[in-house]
Each structure stands twice: as structure tokens, then as C-alpha cells.
Amino acid sequence: MYIDTEKPILVTRHGRVTQSKGYWHKGNILKNHLLIVFTSGQLSMKVADEVYNVNGGDALFIHSGTQYAPLESAGCEYYFFHFSTPDSNPNETKFKIGVTNHLPDGEYSISYTFDVSPVIEVRTLTKSIDLRVQNVLDRVSKTNVWQNDTEKLLLDSYLREILILLNTNMSNSNGIDPVLRRIIRYIDANFKSNISLSSLAFTFGISQSYVARLFKENLHTCSCDYINGVRIRHACDLLLNSKLTIGAIAEKVGFNNQYYFSRVFKTRLGITPNQFRNRKTV
């Protein structure tokens, strides 16, 4: 599908789901588009006449009016976005870049002139999504759409950003520094431990300032915020799928202090851990 990024992209429904293994419905046809971004697990999905095997780190796009049905799953976790936006013609985006060269060192000014509307392509299946997509999903989790209209506008802009990152020409894992990819894998495997900026620098034999710059330049966040995001995602799973106390969950995902855990949780999701557990949804 081709999307004109100058036209409205409006989320009509979204959420985050942890799905048990097996089958959970026989299929559906939606009036709006559907984007599913898988964060873990495995699923086979039939879209029209094609079967797609998706894993954590993949994204699946289903065009409106298309028959789809989940076939078999070993259990998976995913974000989903129902959204509307008009289809566009697959015109190649052409633009000219103008640069002002007389500014002082460290400063720059770049202007862009488009010959046609900036159109992006989103394929049905995108394998191994960019780490930047996960960073946007973290921001989606912090969006309190029940709070005010501005939050809904932010949500729409986050989906636009995800679609741009999934664009064939931009969804390239080479865009992320290889050292940062190693650090991310380390965090994902050791989030329960006492990880800090200084410990990451020591583990990988680089300076703290270099680690901080990797997160800032590649993911537009800091290492602490990224680590907390990983911990909160795992905490959500435990809140929905276990009977552990809040304190036990906080300790299990790497927070030494229950009150700090609750404060970080509410800052990111807009509700307390207990409220989240009672809602049974994000």
C-alpha cells in the first residue's frame, strides 16, 4: 500500500495484547486498515490467499476490506492499530535539498523542496523491524488518550512515524549503530539486573558519554528511559498474567523500590500498576 504522508492518518482503535497459544478467532474483514507490530512470540496469519509466518520484531499490515485469519500461534505479544487514510499513487518522492554553508561550525540549515507529495510504501510483512519502531511503541504506551484531545493527536503522529519507519527505503537495520544493537540485546537479556549507564560503559569497554550519544542519536532517548521501558513492558505481562504482588513484580523486573516502580509506571502509562491490572488492557 502507498500512503501520502501529507494526508490524514487517523487511529480509530489501538492497544497492546498478550495472546495465549492456539487459535482465538476464525477470521475477519475490517473497514479500516490494520497494522500489527509483534514484540515477542510467533503467529501464522492468513491474509487473503497468502499465509505469513510472523515473529517478535516483525510487522504485519492488512489493507481494509481484506479477509484475514490467525491460523496457529505459540503465544505472542503485539501492538495493534486500526487506522484510516486514503490510498495514494505510487509516485516516487522527489525532492531537492538546499544547504546554507556560511553558518558557524556545528550549525546548519537545510531546506527541502518537493516535486511531488511524499509517498511511502508499506508492505504486508516487514521482517526485523528497526529498533526505532520499538522506541515509538514505548511512546505509544505513555500516551493517555483518555486524558485530552492532544494525546490523540500525538497517537496519530506516532502511527505516522511507525509507518514511515516501515517504509521499504527506511526500514533498514543498518540504520542502527552495531554497537547499540549489541547493547540492546544485552539489556533485553539482563533487564532484571542492576543496569546503569556506567555499567553498560564498563561491560562494553566504551565511555559513558559514547553510550549516551548512541541512545540519543539512534533512538532519541536516554539509556535509563530505554531500560525502564523494557522493564515496564515485562511488568505489564506479569500484571495481566500472574497473581504476584506489585512489590514482587517490581523486584522481578529489576526495580529495587516498589514506590519508584509505581511512579515510573504511572509516568509512562498514565495509570498505576493496580489500575492497569484492573483494566486488563493498555
Residue-wise pLDDT for 241-255, tens only, equals: 888 999 999 999 999
pLDDT value, residue 282: 44
pLDDT at 25: 72
Pairwise CA distance, residues 106 & 129, whole Å? 32
Distance CA 240, CA 253 (A): 14
Mean pLDDT for 103-112 is 64
Confidence check: pLDDT of 99 > 60? no
Mean pLDDT on 223-251: 89
Q: Does domain 2-86+122-166 have CATH number 2.60.120.280?
A: yes
R_g (Cα) of the chain, nearest Å: 20
Identify the pLDDT of residue 110: 64
Quick one: pLDDT band at residue 142, thresholds 50, 70, 90? confident
pLDDT of residue 239: 87
Topology, domain 176-279: Arc Repressor Mutant, subunit A (1.10.10)
Angle between helices 197-204 and 223-241 (to 10 degrees): 110
Interval 166-212: pLDDT, tens: 875 444 544 567 788 888 888 988 999 999 999 999 888 888 888 99
Does the pLDDT value for residue 89 go beyond 70? no
Domains 2-86+122-166 and 176-279 fall in the same CATH topology? no
161 backbone dihedrals φ, ψ, rounded to 5°: -65, -40
CA 160 vs CA 8, 83, 120, 165, 171: distances in Å: 9, 10, 11, 9, 14
Q: Residues 13, 82: contact at Cβ < 8 Å?
A: yes
Q: C-alpha grid cell for residue 74?
A: 505459540
Please report, for the chain, the start and end positions of each structural domain, with discontinuous segments joined by +.
2-86+122-166, 176-279
- Choose the weakest-confidence range: 101-110, 152-161, 234-243: 101-110
Q: Give the DSSP letter of residue 176.
A: S
pLDDT value of residue 10? 92
CA dist 145 and 162 (Å) reads 18
Most confidently predicted of 66-75, 143-152, 207-216? 207-216
| Better pLDDT: 34 or 43 | 34
134-138, 147-151, 167-171, 182-186: least confidently modelled range: 167-171
DSSP assignment string, 140-191: HHH--TTT-HHHHHHHHHHHHHHHHHHSTTT--GGGS-HHHHHHHHHHHHHT
Q: Is 64 helix (H, G, I), strand (E, B) or coil?
A: coil
**What totals of helices (H) and strands (E) does the chain contain, helices first?**
9, 11
pLDDT value of position 2: 79
Question: 97 pLDDT band (50/70/90 cuts)?
Answer: low
Three-state DSSP at 279 gives helix
Contact of 188 with 101, CB cutoff 8 Å: no
Report d(CA 166, CA 18) in Å as an integer: 22
Q: Is the pLDDT of residue 157 over 50?
A: yes
